[in-house]
A and B are shown apart, each in its own frame.
Chain A
Amino acid sequence: MNRIIKVARMQLINKATFIGIPLLILASAFLVTLAIWWLVRRNGGDGVLYGGGAQAPMWYFLALGIQALTMTFPFSLGMSISRRSFYLGTVGLFSACALVLSVFYYLMGLVETATGGWGVDGRFFALQWIADNNWFVQIMFYFVLMILLFMMGFFSATIYLRWKTMGVLVLVVGLALILLAAATVITLSGNWVPIGRWMASLTAGSVTLLGTVLALALGSGSYATLRKAMA
């Protein structure tokens, strides 16, 4: 347990990576969005204004998943850390960061609603589709999305670490083939309309559940792959 926490502390030696940069990305995306909204209002635009900038840090988490592994894993082997401790410490730290950020999103959503969309009727944090749910679903939605993106990066990085370029190639081509097969089956059975209807019926809650399943699959896949990986 002790060494797992030490791994988390090691990942935090450079605080920018896990904390500073995501906050910076979020703050810049928010301020830029606010500026644009202000310009729109000044030119007489009306109606609710939507901004997708809240997802900006999420894409950084995809890169962070890759970085956390490729930058620190070989070093952690040199620090005599087991792969298990490295995995638990790193994923644990990210989960904690993601949870704090998710709660922050939720709270900012409350502020957004209370201030009439920052005074300009804008929606940055409290997008209707998400904000209509209770607090738990809202926080879990953000949390699972962040974990999922991090795990996608982490998983592909473990595949690369273990099987190099060929491994990633097989993964990507394999994924493309599976999608192609699925599309073929749907097309031949004429099921695109029901699929479209199903997608439209998805709620934040059901997306969260799907994301959880996928994140868990990627998480256990990464763990299994990492257990026998070499620097």
Chain B
Amino acid sequence: MSQSTAIATRELTKTYKDVRALDNINLDLEAHRIYGLLGRNGAGKTTLMSILTGQNYPDHGTALIFGHEPFEHDPTLSRICFIRESQKYPEDFKVHQAFTAAAMFFENWDEQLAQNLVQDFGLPTKRRIKKLSRGQLSAVGVIIGMASRAEITFFDEPYLGLDAVARQVFYDRLVEDFAEYPRTIVLSSHLIDEVANLLEHVIVIDKGRIVIDADAEDLRGAAVTVTGEAAKVQEFIGAATVLHRDGLGALSSVTIKTQLDADRREQAKLMGLDLSPVSLQQFVVRSALSETATATGEKTEARS
């Protein structure tokens, strides 16, 4: 484990009654990068984040934050901020009281940033938290997460209920603030394309297993969709890993996991086949849904 490792997990496993929420998770997250933790609802994202932040504990395996187990370890916990998507606040708390509390516990708290974000989101700080709309509630979590400037900050589906403008405000402020105060950010999301440009590294979890762990850059050109006459498509793709297959009469459209060089592209053109890029979201959806995407294969690629 290098000096710059912020989060390291080994064989992390968590089982709830009959559901294996996390199954042998091995991850290394470097400091000062923005990670996307992507996956479907119930894939294990929140369980993983809860364990990494000491809010929960594993049945088996280890999770180390800056080399320490976070569970019940105050010095480590004080370097982390994780506001859940379903975060509960004290019944009688008003918005500004939640910020007062956060300012006490997060040592790097920036009140000015918090105030600016309150303005940006148009958040009524004197209102009781239980009276807030879903979007306003998300905004409270986003503001605590951002203004805490914790060394590791988790955002758990932070955009729920936020309108498009507010979401853009969040993305813009996050990038601005990250540039000035680099830290490790883990963004859990299923609006993948919307956050794709923010992410430096992508981790996809499905049914408690890691199915993708790779730099976002590597994933952008990692797949291509070939469309054309079914027979020719089949001939062109050969033995490449198929992520998705659509057919309409004699036409077929197949997404394969491969990087095409200029020669291959030329070949496709000559065969009358259409090549279209695959967005990160499509790639993730296809990979996560495709049973053939084995965890081991993906991981070797990412580690190399």
Q: What separation, in Å, do the CA atoms of A79 and B140 have in the docked complex?
A: 13
Q: What separation, in Å, do the CA atoms of A72 and B77 have in the docked complex?
A: 17
Query: Chain B binding site: helix, strand, loop or mixed by DSSP?
Result: loop
Assess whether A80 is in contact with B72, with CB atoms less than 8 Å apart.
no
Binding site for A on B (CB under 8 A): 50, 53-57, 72-74, 77-78, 80-84, 87-93, 97-98, 100-102, 104-106, 144, 150
Given A14-B90, A78-B84, A80-B78: A227 and B72 within 8 A (CB)? yes
Segment at the interface with B among A3-11, A133-141, A148-156: A3-11
User: Which A residues are in CB contact (< 8 Å) with B92?
Assistant: 14, 16-17, 71
Assess whether B77 is in contact with A6, with CB atoms less than 8 Å apart.
no
Of chain B, the residue at the smallest CB distance from A3 is B74
Q: What separation, in Å, do the CA atoms of A231 and B73 have in the docked complex?
A: 17
Assess whether B56 is in contact with A230, with CB atoms less than 8 Å apart.
yes
Per-position contact with B for A169-207: 1 when CB-CB < 8 Å, else 0? 000000000000000000000000000000000000000
Given A3-B74, A78-B82, A79-B102: A72 and B90 within 8 A (CB)? yes
Q: What separation, in Å, do the CA atoms of A156 and B93 have in the docked complex?
A: 23
Q: What separation, in Å, do the CA atoms of A34 and B87 have in the docked complex?
A: 46
Is A13 interfacial (CB-CB < 8 Å)? yes
Q: A-B pairs with the 8 shortest C-beta distances? A: A74-B88, A80-B77, A79-B105, A71-B90, A82-B72, A77-B55, A6-B104, A71-B91
Assess whether A82 is in contact with B77, with CB atoms less than 8 Å apart.
yes
Query: Chain A binding site: helix, strand, loop or mixed by DSSP?
Result: helix
| 8 other A-B residue contacts (CB within 8 Å) besides A13-B101, A75-B101, A80-B106 | A71-B90, A75-B87, A75-B93, A75-B98, A78-B83, A78-B88, A79-B106, A81-B105
CB distance from A19 to the nearest CB of B (A): 14
Of chain A, the residue at the smallest CB distance from B90 is A71
25 inter-chain pairs at a CB distance below 8 angstroms, sorted by A residue, are: A3-B74, A10-B104, A13-B100, A14-B97, A17-B92, A67-B91, A71-B92, A72-B90, A75-B89, A78-B83, A78-B87, A78-B88, A79-B102, A80-B53, A80-B54, A80-B81, A80-B82, A80-B106, A80-B150, A82-B72, A84-B72, A85-B74, A230-B56, A231-B55, A231-B84
Q: What separation, in Å, do the CA atoms of A85 and B54 have in the docked complex?
A: 13
Which residues of chain A (76-92) have a CB below 8 Å from chain B? 77-85
Q: What separation, in Å, do the CA atoms of A131 and B281 have in the docked complex?
A: 74
User: Which A residues are in CB contact (< 8 Å) with B72?
Assistant: 82-84, 227
Of chain A, the residue at the smallest CB distance from B102 is A79
User: Which B residues are in CB contact (< 8 Å) with A42?
Assistant: none
Q: What separation, in Å, do the CA atoms of A17 and B93 have in the docked complex?
A: 11
